Amino acid sequence: MSAQFFVQPILEINVKELEALLQTLPNHQLQLIDVREPEEIEMAKLDGFMNYPLSQYSQWSEQILVELDATQETLVLCHHGVRSAQMCQWLIRQGFTQVKNITGGIDAYSIYVDSKVPRY
C-alpha cells in the first residue's frame, strides 16, 4: 500500500468527556485547537481554544509546529467533527502523538453540554 493512501486511526473524545477534562485539568495541560473559520468563531466559541482555520493553512502550517508541543495532549474542534478529523490526520503526520478529535464538534457541545453556546 502506498504511504500517501495510508490513514492513521484517529483517537476521539466526545463532548461530555471534553467538558469533564476542561473542568478537571488546568488549561496548560491541554492544547485546544479550533479549525473553524473566524466567522464561525464569532457565532459560537469555547474559551481556551486557539483558532487555526483550515482555509488559512498556508498562513499557520509552519508556525503551529513551533507554537505547539507535539507530545502534549491536543484536542481538535470544528462544527461537526469532519474538519477537525482532517486536522488530526495532519497533526499525526507532523509527529504529534496525543491528538484527539472532538466528535460532534461545537454543535454537539451546544446540544449535550451547554445550550448557551449558540447553534448555527
- Strand bridging mode 99-102 / 74-77: parallel
The amino acid that residue 116 corresponds to is K
CA atoms of 81 and 102, how far apart (whole Å): 6
DSSP string, 49-102: PEE--GGGHHHHTTTHHHHS-TTS-EEEE-SSSHHHHHHHHHHHHTT-SSEEEE
Residues with active-site annotation = 78
Closest CA to 49 of 59, 41, 61: 41
